[in-house]
A and B are shown apart, each in its own frame.
Chain A
Amino acid sequence: MTDSKYFTTTKKGEIFELKAELNSDKKEKKKEAVKKVIASMTVGKDVSALFPDVVNCMQTDNLELKKLVYLYLMNYAKSQPDMAIMAVNTFVKDCEDPNPLIRALAVRTMGCIRVDKITEYLCEPLRKCLKDEDPYVRKTAAVCVAKLHDINAQLVEDQGFLDTLKDLISDSNPMVVANAVAALSEIAESHPSSNLLDLNPQSINKLLTALNECTEWGQIFILDCLANYTPKDDREAQSICERVTPRLSHANSAVVLSAVKVLMKFMEMLSKDLDYYGTLLKKLAPPLVTLLSAEPELQYVALRNINLIVQKRPEILKHEMKVFFVKYNDPIYVKLEKLDIMIRLASQANIAQVLAELKEYATEVDVDFVRKAVRAIGRCAIKVEQSAERCVSTLLDLIQTKVNYVVQEAIVVIKDIFRKYPNKYESVIATLCENLDSLDEPEARAAMIWIVGEYAERIDNADELLESFLEGFHDESTQVQLQLLTAIVKLFLKKPTETQELVQQVLSLATQDSDNPDLRDRGYIYWRLLSTDPVAAKEVVLAEKPLISEETDLIEPTLLDELICYIGTLASVYHKPPSAFVEGGRGVVHKSLPPRTASNESTESPETAPAGAPSGEQPDVIPTQGDLLGDLLNLDLGPPVSGPPLATSSVQMGAVDLLGGGLDSLMGDEPEGIGGPNFVAPPAAAVPANLGATMGSGLSDLFDLTSGVGTLSGSYVAPKAVWLPAMKAKGLEISGTFTRQVGSISMDLQLTNKALQVMTDFAIQFNRNSFGLAPAAPLQVHAPLSPNQTVEISLPLNTVGSVMKMEPLNNLQVAVKNNIDVFYFSTLYPLHILFVEDGKMDRQMFLATWKDIPNENEAQFQIRDCPLNAEAGRPGGNKNAGSTGEWAHKALFILFAPR
Chain B
Amino acid sequence: MIHSLFLINSSGDIFLEKHWKSVVSRSVCDYFFEAQERATEAENVPPVIPTPHHYLLSVYRHKIFFVAVIQTEVPPLFVIEFLHRVVDTFQDYFGVCSEPVIKDNVVVVYEVLEEMLDNGFPLATESNILKELIKPPTILRTVVNTITGSTNVGDQLPTGQLSVVPWRRTGVKYTNNEAYFDVIEEIDAIIDKSGSTITAEIQGVIDACVKLTGMPDLTLSFMNPRLLDDVSFHPCVRFKRWESERILSFIPPDGNFRLLSYHVSAQNLVAIPVYVKHNISFRDSSSLGRFEITVGPKQTMGKTIEGVIVTSQMPKGVLNMSLTPSQGTHTFDPVTKMLSWDVGKINPQKLPSLKGTMSLQAGASKPDENPTINLHFKIQQLAISGVPRSLHSKTF
Contact = CB atoms under 8 A, between A and B. Distances in A.
B199 A63 contact: no
A332 B35 CA distance: 13
B389 interface: no
A737 B111 CA distance: 66
A357 to B, nearest CB: 10
A215 B203 contact: no
Interface in A563-609: 568-571, 573-574, 578, 581-583
Given A42-B16, A287-B232, A301 B149 contact: no
A156 to B, nearest CB: 14
Given A213-B164, A290-B230, A300 B46 contact: yes
A569 B152 contact: no
A251 B234 contact: yes
Interface stretch (B98-106, B282-290, B326-334): B98-106
A175 B75 contact: no
Given A43-B15, A101-B155, A253 B73 contact: no
Contacts of B153: 63-64, 67
Interface string A298-340: 1011100000000000000000001101011001110000000
A298 B77 contact: yes
A337 B60 CA distance: 19
Interface of A, secondary structure class, is helix
B75 A254 contact: yes
Interface in B109-167: 110-111, 114, 118-119, 121-123, 125-126, 142, 146, 149, 151-157, 161-162, 164, 166
B211 interface: no
Interface stretch (B51-59, B296-304, B339-347): B51-59
A38 B18 CA distance: 11
Contacts of B265: 289
A267 B46 CA distance: 32
Given A140-B118, A179-B121, A327-B188, A253 B263 contact: no
A569 B73 contact: yes
Contacts of A258: 75
Interface in A106-139: 108, 111-112, 114, 134-136
Nearest to A108: B118
Nearest to B15: A43
Contact of A253 (B39, B44, B77): B77
Interface of B, secondary structure class, is mixed
B47 interface: yes
Interface centre among A323, A328, A573 (most CB of B within 10 A): A573
A363 B369 contact: yes
B266 interface: yes
B119 A301 contact: no
A578 B73 contact: yes
A584 to B, nearest CB: 9
B152 A64 contact: yes
B104 A2 contact: yes
A251 B235 contact: yes
Interface in A202-222: 213, 215-217, 220
B22 interface: yes
A252 B81 CA distance: 7
A146 interface: yes
Interface in A55-74: 62-65, 67-68, 71
B10 interface: no
B111 to A, nearest CB: 6
A561 interface: no
Nearest to A256: B232
A1 interface: yes
Contacts of B105: 2-3
A325 B14 CA distance: 36
Contact of B78 (A7, A217, A327, A331): A217
Contact of B149 (A28, A251, A295): A28
Contacts of A581: 50
B233 A249 contact: yes
Contact of B142 (A1, A140, A224, A249): A1
Nearest to B70: A570
A35 interface: yes
A349 to B, nearest CB: 16
Contacts of B81: 252-254, 298
B173 interface: no
B258 A251 contact: yes
A39 B75 contact: no
B71 interface: yes
Given A101-B156, A173-B162, A251 B232 contact: yes
Contacts of B71: 583
Interface string B208-232: 0000000000000000000001111
B277 interface: no
A675 B154 CA distance: 87
A818 interface: no
A302 B162 contact: no
Contact of B121 (A42, A68, A217): A217
Given A217-B125, A249-B233, A583-B53, A570 B74 contact: yes
A297 B47 contact: yes
A417 B61 CA distance: 44
Interface in B84-108: 84, 100, 103-108
B8 interface: no
A731 interface: no
Contacts of B73: 189, 569-571, 578, 582
Nearest to A246: B239
B77 A4 contact: no
Interface in B345-372: 368-369, 372
A150 interface: yes
Interface in B5-52: 14-23, 26, 39, 43-44, 46-48, 50
A474 interface: no
B191 interface: no
Nearest to B200: A322
A224 B74 CA distance: 10
A332 B39 CA distance: 9
B388 interface: no
Interface string A535-548: 00000000000000
Given A27-B149, A189-B73, A42 B58 contact: no
Contact of A570 (B55, B164, B231): B55
A298 B53 CA distance: 23
A6 interface: yes
Contact of A332 (B44, B53, B111, B260): B44
B201 interface: yes
B325 interface: no
Contacts of B121: 143, 146, 179, 182-183, 217
Given A189-B73, A215-B125, A67 B78 contact: no
Contact of B46 (A31, A44, A333): A333
7 contacts: A6-B106, A108-B118, A135-B162, A246-B243, A286-B229, A327-B188, A581-B50
Interface of A: 1-4, 6-7, 27-28, 31, 35, 38-39, 42-44, 62-65, 67-68, 71, 75, 78, 99-101, 108, 111-112, 114, 134-136, 140, 143-144, 146-147, 150, 173, 175, 179, 182-183, 186, 189, 213, 215-217, 220, 224, 246, 249-254, 256-258, 286-287, 289-290, 293, 295-298, 300-302, 322-323, 325, 327-328, 331-333, 363, 401, 568-571, 573-574, 578, 581-583
Name the 8 nearest CB pairs between A and B, nearest first.
A286-B230, A2-B104, A64-B151, A297-B47, A64-B153, A217-B122, A254-B77, A254-B78
Interface of B: 1, 14-23, 26, 39, 43-44, 46-48, 50, 53, 55, 57-61, 71-78, 80-82, 84, 100, 103-108, 110-111, 114, 118-119, 121-123, 125-126, 142, 146, 149, 151-157, 161-162, 164, 166, 188, 199, 201, 203, 229-235, 239-240, 243, 258, 260-261, 263, 265-266, 368-369, 372, 374
Given A6-B107, A75-B19, A331-B43, 5 more contacts: A43-B16, A112-B21, A254-B78, A286-B230, A293-B203
